[in-house]
Chain A
């Protein structure tokens, strides 16, 4: 992975500026700014409750499902404003999310799940092409086409969730913890797939707790903590920074470091 130089100003992929989000009285994000240049993979790291999923909800326009809303700042993609747009408009604009926990339609077949993915971007011929691409990427989905999606294994469900999102032919893919709960082999298989999707020209915003995996994929990364960006920089640099190593990679450089850590960090020591 080459490290992107500080983003060229004209090449605007996803741009988040001074974003604040609240769920009723609860402030979930504060002054969050980040850039995902076109064609790149950018990772957002953070523990539970850091606001990672909230960030993706704000981009996709699904905060209202959680009684939340954007209170300040804005989100744009390719210069077009996404904040305030409906979810279907965001999808039509080419920004598609793979939600946390896969959320496949368990009662529908694999085939129907893929069809559902194409609903936001109609066009019969291009849908057929998208499906071909998805089935080449995940041949197992072709084998299980007629099966109920709820009966797939966890890894297969994640493939289906990603495949379903690709059916909308996204220019940008938002991935919310795609390796959560998967066996290491399957996790690295998913990582390879993300790399492949990105190589095909799709911009990727990857939200992860699995920092090692995320930093190996991304060119640039942000660390989110209690609703604020506390660290950001090229992924390679972050991977060597003491703080990230200690908190997210579980690497102790010196035994004393842990003793000096703030008590809140106990949440991340797994």
Chain B
């Protein structure tokens, strides 16, 4: 029971971090209809900036610069590539983002080399004991930060002019333009916000109990893809649900690995993708993907 609780809390915490990544993925898709395969590299940019700068300027300043850095790189990808690529199909742009991802990831992994970079976070490896349940402080902080960021984002999405403009553009780009919405600004903003969220996620993917930022961090980030897709690519709610489902599944599968030996080792890493496939078989648009609600 105690193991179960520990796994559950850890799963939810990791799931919340996946949700941050998936949320960025979803808003880029909503604003520009591009499936952004470069998302993992945005995350790597954020993590790398934090890792390199924290010995020089302290953790908090490094964190801010990491967030800003990933946001700027996201905005630049939009401004320099997505906006200029005058292609007919959005799937072509998706393939372009694969190219961007390869370039960024290759360069960053070259910089990182075989090192494992610490991010210098103040929580280190402290563990909180509640009754018999032991949970790393980093997991608690991750959960709290993700909850705050996600709520702030959803409130902004619902109530601010930015949110209205985003949703209008997502629903009907041409008509949104007729309202005076500037599409370029909206899509650049979406990429920047997605980059910033990814940088925060990078922090929590690399802190204890993970050893730190290394070349395998992108693989961890990849698990947010199934989260976004099983939730429904165009649904913010779906990103949250998907993130949590993937996080908890992964934690449970890894935690009870010994009871699931017949499935082979490392099932935790595969589980997110299995869950995604099962969900898509039953609901092709994802859990919360768009079903038209309109009267003709």
Contacts and interface: CB of A to CB of B under 8 A. Distances in A.
A86 B102 CA distance: 34
Interface stretch (B17-25, B148-156, B165-173): B165-173
Contacts of B72: none
Nearest to A116: B168
A176 B161 CA distance: 26
Contact of B167 (A88, A108, A121, A152): A108
Interface stretch (A12-20, A68-76, A92-100, A255-263): A92-100
Interface in A131-164: 148, 150-153, 164
A92 B290 CA distance: 32
B180 A91 contact: yes
A47 interface: no
- What is the size category of the interface that chain B forms with chain A? 20 to 34
Nearest to A66: B174
Nearest to B158: A112
A168 B171 contact: no
Interface string B132-164: 000000000000000000000000000001001
Given A105-B171, A105-B172, A107-B171, A164 B179 contact: yes
A62 B180 CA distance: 11
Nearest to B296: A154
Contacts of A88: 177, 180-182
A92 B177 contact: no
B263 interface: no
A64 to B, nearest CB: 9
A106 B168 contact: no
A19 B218 CA distance: 53
A120 B179 contact: yes
A115 B168 CA distance: 10
A107 B167 contact: yes
A148 B171 CA distance: 13
B110 interface: no
Q: Which of B171, B180, B181 has the most CB of A within 10 A?
A: B180
Interface in B220-259: none
B176 interface: yes
Contact of B179 (A65, A107, A116, A148): A116
Contacts of A199: none
B2 interface: no
Given A107-B167, A108-B168, A117 B179 contact: yes
Contact of B178 (A99, A106, A108, A152): A99
B181 A108 contact: no
A153 to B, nearest CB: 7
B293 A119 contact: no
B174 A116 contact: no
A106 B180 contact: no
A119 B175 contact: no
Contacts of A153: 295
B294 interface: yes
Nearest to B163: A112
Nearest to B88: A67
A60 B173 CA distance: 14
Contacts of A148: 293
B135 to A, nearest CB: 39
Contacts of A168: 179-180
Contacts of B181: 88, 116, 119-120
A97 B174 CA distance: 11
Given A103-B172, A150-B293, A150-B294, A96 B161 contact: no
Contacts of B290: 107
A56 to B, nearest CB: 10
A203 interface: no
B295 A151 contact: yes
Interface in B247-295: 290, 292-295
B238 to A, nearest CB: 14
Contacts of A116: 164-165, 168, 176, 179, 181
B164 A96 contact: no
B174 A121 contact: no
A107 B294 CA distance: 8
A105 B181 CA distance: 14
B172 A121 contact: no
Contact of A119 (B168, B292, B294, B295): B168
Contacts of B176: 116
B177 A65 contact: yes
13 contacts: A60-B178, A62-B178, A87-B177, A91-B178, A91-B180, A92-B180, A105-B168, A107-B293, A108-B168, A112-B167, A115-B161, A150-B292, A151-B293
Interface of A: 60, 62, 65, 86-88, 91-92, 96-97, 99, 103, 105-108, 112, 115-117, 119-122, 148, 150-153, 164, 168
Interface of B: 161, 164-165, 167-168, 171-182, 290, 292-295
Sorted from nearest, which 7 A-B pairs have the closest CB atoms?
Answer: A120-B180, A91-B180, A150-B294, A103-B175, A87-B177, A65-B174, A116-B168
